[in-house]
Amino acid sequence: MKSLSMLGLSKNSFSGEFPPALYNMTSLKLLLLSFNYFFGSLKSNIGLALANLQRLYLAENFFSGSIPASLSSASGLLHFNIPFNNFTGNVPTNYGNLNSLWWFNVLNNNNLGSGAPDDFSFITSLTNCSSLQLLDFAKNQFAGMLPKSITNLSTQLTHLLIDQNRIGGNIPEEITYLVNLTYLGMGLNLLEGKIPTSIGVLSKLEDLVLESSQLTGELPDSIGILPRELMELPSLTDMLNVSSNLLRGPLPLDFGNWSNLVALDFSYNNFSGTIPSTLGKCLALEQLYTQGNSLVGSIPDFSGLKNIQFLDFSSNDLSGKIPTYIENLPSLLNLNISLNNLEGEVLVQGVFRNASAVEVYGNSRLCGGVHELYLQSCPANEPEEPKKHVTVNVLVIIIVSSLGLLLLLFLVFFFYHWKRLKHESSSSSLNFYPKISYSELLKATDGFSSSNLIGTGNFGNVYKGALHRDVHCDLKPSNVLLDDHMIAHTRRFIQFWILLLEIFTGRRPTDEMFEDNMDLHRYVKMPLPDKIMDIVDHSALLGGSGKDASVESLNEIRVLNFHSANVDHSALLGGSGKDASVESLNEIECSTSILQMWIIQLCLEDQEKMQVLKV
């Protein structure tokens, strides 16, 4: 058996003290006794007896006593792994000559360290172990100030774990000398001060555990409460734990670089502000712990976290409703949203089906959920969908009403504009006077030649004529007016005032009596104002019937005014010999006054235009 180089007895039920026969196996290079029930102490000369030992595994047994200093004689020792036992005292300080040592694990031996000033002397000695890759003395009784010599350990070191001791002081800036660190665990100690910004230089860092210490401070707003360099570490692919410290301020926004991070814990600090929605970009995240802070606002959209298993938002000041996406997270095993200010209905699908996997207490305005949560029922008028329908209906009514009002305003404007255009068009047509000179008329009718005479009507002779202005019409004297510049204007209707004079005088502009200097204008003007009845056609006033004037006849001449002392009222009433009533005569006198004013006004305004009647 002396030539035996490997002995593996791990994961059995062996018990008793360290087998004495093993000390005689001087050729042993690998000894595995882990996960058994061995107890007692190791002989102080074990290193001398097993000088060829390279790997010693005694994990999870009940060994006690001190760690033998003689193991420094096993100069080829690579792995020294004795976690979860009951060793006491200090770690020997002569292990510095183990040049090949790259794994030193005394984790959870409960009683190593005494709080004496020399507790960390072994670290100084281990700085000579240039191949050291793992150093773990977590969960022991080491106390005192963290020595700066820890930053002088091998640059090959990848794992440094000093958690759960009584170590105080600051995290040294020089920690960045350990450039190959992938796991740094310093939590559950008495460390204080700020997280050094230099920690961001550790580009290979995957796990950072700083939980439950007394780290404090608030870094500038530009980098949040965590160093910018740390936030830019893409190598964090496993864990970031800064829980149970005194860190404060808002959480950083740029979590996007940690898309491969598996676990994130910043619980039990004094973080404030909202939970960054950028955490939703950490697609590999399985555990997220935010509890025990002063975070506000609503729960962000983390619907992309398909791998999330544990989600804790408890003991904050979050508000709003529970997002519906949570019940669709396929991997979620446990959800804690207790002790917040959430409101509304608790969901019933996904993780919410299992009341033991969900904690919602301490939210007084939550309702519904599965029966086992024992929450109050939600009011019937509070479901989300009806509110949405009401909102949509109100919106539709507002839109339709607005469109209706706009349409009404448009129609009013269109009608008003159309009416105005129609009025202007009508006015334009009534006032359209094509400008035609007298010479043009004379030429068009060949000097009013009889060969161009079309016929003779009540209002004069009608001639035909062709104008070079593409205007072709019937021309007669009463259709032509001359303006102030002796320019002839044609019209397609007879002037109203000429017609009026013809009606009341019974004379036409073409009557034979109008010769020399006599014309219709002068004929009417001469008897004004007292002898107007001398030119009035009495038959026009009384309808020409020769019979007694009736009430209807008097009404027909109501608009006439013959205000003259020489008026023979009996003549006006048809010469019947009967007396006209006083009322009828008064009506005739009133009408006579109106007609007199009308004729005088027309004659004064159109005196020159009347000359056209001589044409």
**Catalytic residue ranges:** 474
The sign of the torsion formed by the CA atoms of 316, 319, 325, 327 equals: positive
d(CA 131, CA 347): 55
- Please tell me the distance from the alpha carbon of residue 533 to that of residue 29, in angstroms, as a whole number: 158
Q: Is the dihedral of CA 69, 74, 80, 85 positive or negative?
A: negative
Backbone torsions φ then ψ of 607, nearest 5 degrees: -60, -45
Using the Cα atoms of residue 347, residue 351, residue 355 and residue 359 in order, give the sign of their dihedral: negative
Identify the residue whose tokens are 């529970």. 322
Helix segments in 223-284, DSSP class H: 228-231
Q: Find out whether 139 and 107 touch, Cβ atoms under 8 Å.
A: yes
Which token pair is 59? 């994990």
Q: What distances in angstroms separate CA 446 from CA 138, 353, 439, 463, 599, one per listed residue?
A: 133, 112, 10, 10, 36
Evaluate whether 136 touches 163 at the Cβ level (below 8 Å): no
Type of residue found at 382: E
586 phi and psi angles, rounded to 5 deg: -60, -40
CA distance 532 to 567: 9
SS3 481: strand
For 32, the token pair is 């595995």
Q: Where are the beta strands (DSSP E) in 291-336?
A: 294-297, 310-312, 317-320, 334-336
Task: Please return the burial class of 357, using the count of CB atoms within 10 Å of its CB with bins 0-12, 13-18 and 19+.
Answer: middle
- Residue bearing tokens 């007084």: 364
Residue 219 in tokens: 């870094």
End-to-end Cα spacing for the chain: 159
172 upstream amide cis, omega within 30 of 0: no
